[in-house]
Amino acid sequence: MADTDLRERIKEVAVEHFNANGYHGTTIRNIAKDVNCSLPMIYYYYKNKKEMFDEIIKKDFFNLLEKQASLLKIDNVVDFYTKFIYDLNFLSNYDKQVYRLGIKVYLSFDGDEELMSLMDEWEKSILPRHYQLLKPYIKNVGNEIAVVRTLVHLLETMIENIIVKNRYLPEDEIREEISIVLQGCV
């Protein structure tokens, strides 16, 4: 086992535990047991429980979000958003769990004030980004902003179904729903 393999392994197990039991329900001892290492090893690689949780959200979750956002390049609008959501089905287990944990913090079901405000900032950037993306392709009048807002809301629910409830969403259902929202606009 190489240098930081154990560190990564600890974090993987921690993500599972934080997901299953929440921050307070997760114990360092249980993590160590599942990793098959001694308890103080956790403290060798991480300053404490809180810094571990913070690293998962601040590093891994936001990396994931940025990676996702960077993929936002449009050809056909419906095709594009369908693929965007559909691909979430095939994220790695670790990425899914990090994503799930992030959503948990986003909904202020876990984490602390600091992480929450990071989330708020991110959220504020969502609508403008999608509006800018869709702008060149929307031909309708008047209610474009409402359409983008509705679309983003719909995307949120679908993301939650895949990531949080761990369901498989078939491509045609995704396409159907996106088409309904965008019908006549694009």
Partner DNA sequence: CTATAATTCTAACGAACGTTAAAGAAAGGA
Partner DNA sequence: TCCTTTCTTTAACGTTCGTTAGAATTATAG
136 binds, among a copy of itself, DNA, none (CB under 5 to 8 A by kind): none
Binding residues for DNA restricted to 102-141, rule: CB under 7 A: none
CA distances from 82 to 86, 122, 132, 174, 178 (A): 6, 22, 18, 6, 7
176 binds, among DNA, a copy of itself, none (CB under 5 to 8 A by kind): a copy of itself
* Closest to DNA by CB, 44 or 109: 44
Residue from 16, 34, 55, 160 that binds a copy of itself (CB under 8 A)? 160
* Closest to DNA by CB, 44 or 90: 44
CA nearest to 78, candidates 185, 184, 181, 179: 179
Binding residues for DNA restricted to 34-63, rule: CB under 7 A: 37-44, 47-50
* Token pair of 183 as six digits: 């019908």
* Closest to a copy of itself by CB, 16 or 173: 173
- Asked whether position 173 contacts a copy of itself by CB under 8 A, the answer is yes
Q: How far is the CB of 43 from DNA (least distance, A)?
A: 4
CA atoms within 13 A on the CB side of 26: 24
Cα torsion angle, 168, 12, 98, 73, sign = negative
* Token pair of 49 as six digits: 């429980």
Q: How far is the CB of 155 from DNA (least distance, A)?
A: 35
Residue from 12, 13, 18, 26 that binds DNA (CB under 7 A)? 26
Q: What is the dihedral of CA 82, 104, 17, 160, to 10 degrees?
A: -20
